[in-house]
Amino acid sequence: MKQIKLLLVTSLVCAVLSGCSSDGLEDLREFVANAYADKKPKVEPLPDIKMQETFLYNSVNLADPFAIFNLRPQQGQKTASGPRPDPNRRKEPLEDYPLDALKMVGTLMRGKQVWAIIQAPDGTVYRAQVGDHLGQNSGMVSKINEEKIDLIELIQGASGDWVEREANLALTE
């Protein structure tokens, strides 16, 4: 019986105390309700839409860029002569990367032989000598010194002919 009375008194005290408790957020709720009640949001007016001038393309006297004549190679043009890449040559590992992705990190010398140390984007280190190819434009090493590698690349022009272009790969520090 004593235990029941103790349990009953404890329950009654807990009920009375829970009724008197508060979460302490009434002042916050009041501030949120009253803070911006009298203020209206300021909305910027939309900018004026400017009308664009219409442009009428008149191609009466102009050549049609999609005419069959312009899509086919013109007759009477000479066949391209001069340098061209060898399609039967086996590709070297450094030709898989564009030239700007390769880094020259140093040189090695043994007697009169000079090698350039080149790092590929995947971190692999290669050595190249004069006559080796690197880059995706059939670049052939023509000269190696301590500061840079000189190359001659073959680039296909707009008319289909091949043009030699000088390029270099400088030492990165």
Task: Classify residue 134: in a domain, yes or no.
Answer: yes
- Quote the strand ranges of 7-138, DSSP E: 103-110, 113-119, 125-128, 133-134
Query: Position of tokens 């040559």?
Result: 89
Q: Which amino acid is at 5?
A: K
C-alpha span between 116 and 150 (Å, rounded):
11
Q: State the average pLDDT for the chain.
A: 84
Q: Which amino acid is at 135?
A: G
Parent domain of 164 = 93-170
pLDDT in tens, 25-72: 888 888 888 887 777 778 899 999 988 888 877 777 777 777 766 665
Structurally, the chain folds into a number of domains equal to: 1
How high is the pLDDT of residue 36?
78
Domain with 132 in it: what CATH number? 2.30.30.830
Task: Classify residue 61: in a domain, yes or no.
Answer: no
Element (H, E) at 166: strand 162-170
**What is the pTM for the complete model shown?**
0.52
Task: Classify residue 68: in a domain, yes or no.
Answer: no
117, 104 Cβ separation under 8 angstroms: yes
pLDDT band at 21 (very low <50, low <70, confident <90, very high): low
Task: Classify residue 150: in a domain, yes or no.
Answer: yes
